[in-house]
Amino acid sequence: MPHDGIIYLDHAATSWPKPPEVFAAVKRALGPAGGNPHRSAHRLALEAARLVLEARSAVASFLGAGDARDLLFVPGCTFGLNMALKGLLGAGDRVVISSVEHNAVMRPLAVLEAHGVEVVRMPVDGAGRVDLDAAEAIIAAGKTKAVVCQHASNVTGAIQPVADLADIAHEHGAVLVVDGAQAAGHLRVDVRALGADVYVASGHKGLLGPQGVGVVYLAPGLELPELVQGGSGGESVSPAMPDARPDRYEAGTPPVPAIAGLAAGVGVLARELDAIMAHERRLVQRLVDGLLEVPGIAVLGPAPGEERAPVVSIIHESVEPDRIAYELDSRFGIAVRSGLHCAPAAHASAGTLETGAVRFSVGRGVTEDDVERAVEAVREVCQA
């Protein structure tokens, strides 16, 4: 069923609509838990502190972190990736990345590169997946400090072999940083089973929370310099941030309403993830099959039937992506995203840097009927 007259197929940008549980949790965080956590000792502040504590445990357990203190709340995935990359890498260090990374990785690395960090890219195959043999040779070819790879692509939906990359990285003395923006909430993520040293995700995409919070899993024993310093509610006499997690990495007042909403979103996922994943798989299959039946359309990334995150990007031989997205919205009320999706590297690998693509991304709440309508609308827009 369209919500508010909109068929929303832009879940990779942000999930919408949020579950009612998320609204309720945000409301509570603005009401009876509306104090400033870890600061004052009155009931509103204590409720807020309890809320953040419980949220941390819920999200940590959902993502497979053994200790909730290893799960940090940050302003977003982009912030978390900046924190990890700028904390880990300095002049003279070597970092190996996939050649399909998002600008949330590429842009901080461009700054680091200008400060003397060597950035080396691993190639991907035709489906957009990292080639592990090539990866191993490249990682072994120098003293690699870190390997950075997304878990799933926001352009092709390709799922990367991150557990294998973790093994290779560790064999060669490097840490693995994973950008889980498009995986968390769409794939089963167990950060310890994957072997990730750092795993970063957005709260507002597959995890169903509001915008304004992201999460960083930092493996036990791996310490980074914090990116931001400020009040932590305790040990206030010292000019330095406290050493203990999570305080060291969470200076300033946390976004309690966003954290509350995120925990509620994760609560929904903890109950429904298998069903959501099966549903998304069906929707993706139908989208891929249906769109490929439209003359002149090609689908980027994994072949039909192969596993992918719930993202399907297309190009048409003559109708431009922006035109397709505009017509879908204005004539059919269908929300998709055209352009480069903040990931020129991924488009360069897919051969679509010049044109961009139209991305359909599904999630909880999208129906088979929505997808059928989208395919039919694309057919109409693209017929001569």
Asked if 129 and 121 touch (Cβ cutoff 8 Å), the reply is: no
Which token pair is 119? 């950035």
| Nearest to ligand PMP of 214, 255 (CB atom) | 214
| Nearest to ligand PMP of 77, 97 (CB atom) | 77
Stretch that binds ligand PMP, among 90-98, 129-137, 178-186, 276-284 (CB under 6 A): 178-186
121 three-state secondary structure: strand
Q: How many residues bind ligand PMP (CB under 6 A)?
A: 13
Rounded to whole angstroms, the Cα distance separating 48 from 29 reads 7
Concatenate the DSSP letters of all residues of 238-274 into one string: SSSPPSSTTGGG--S---HHHHHHHHHHHHHHHHHHH
Residue 342 annotated to the active site: yes
Build a one-symbol-per-residue string for 92-131: x at contacts with ligand PMP by CB under 6 A, - elsewhere: ----------x-x---------------------------
**357-361 and 337-339 beta bridge pairing:** antiparallel
The distance of closest approach from Cβ of residue 154 to ligand PMP in the complex, given in angstroms and rounded to an integer, is: 3
Helices (H) and strands (E) in the chain, counts: 11, 13
Tell me the sheet residues that pair with 215: 73, 201
| Nearest to ligand PMP of 185, 214 (CB atom) | 214
- Using the structure block, give the residue that is written with the tokens 């505009």: 326
Residue from 158, 181, 319, 375 binding ligand PMP (CB under 6 A): 181
The distance of closest approach from Cβ of residue 182 to ligand PMP in the complex, given in angstroms and rounded to an integer, is: 5
| Nearest to ligand PMP of 76, 290 (CB atom) | 76
Asked if 341 and 352 touch (Cβ cutoff 8 Å), the reply is: no
Rounded to whole angstroms, the Cα distance separating 359 from 315 reads 9
Q: Which residue, among 176, 178, 182, has the nearest Cα to 216 in the 3D structure? A: 178
Q: Binders of ligand PMP among 190-229, rule CB under 6 A? A: 202, 214
| Nearest to ligand PMP of 78, 338 (CB atom) | 78
41 three-state secondary structure: coil
Q: Binders of ligand PMP among 41-80, rule CB under 6 A? A: 76-78
The distance of closest approach from Cβ of residue 188 to ligand PMP in the complex, given in angstroms and rounded to an integer, is: 18
The distance of closest approach from Cβ of residue 181 to ligand PMP in the complex, given in angstroms and rounded to an integer, is: 3
Asked if 202 and 76 touch (Cβ cutoff 8 Å), the reply is: yes
The distance of closest approach from Cβ of residue 226 to ligand PMP in the complex, given in angstroms and rounded to an integer, is: 18
Residues of this chain that interact with ligand PMP (CB under 6 A) are 76-78, 102, 104, 150, 154, 179, 181-182, 202, 214, 342
Q: Give catalytic residues, as residue numbers.
A: 342
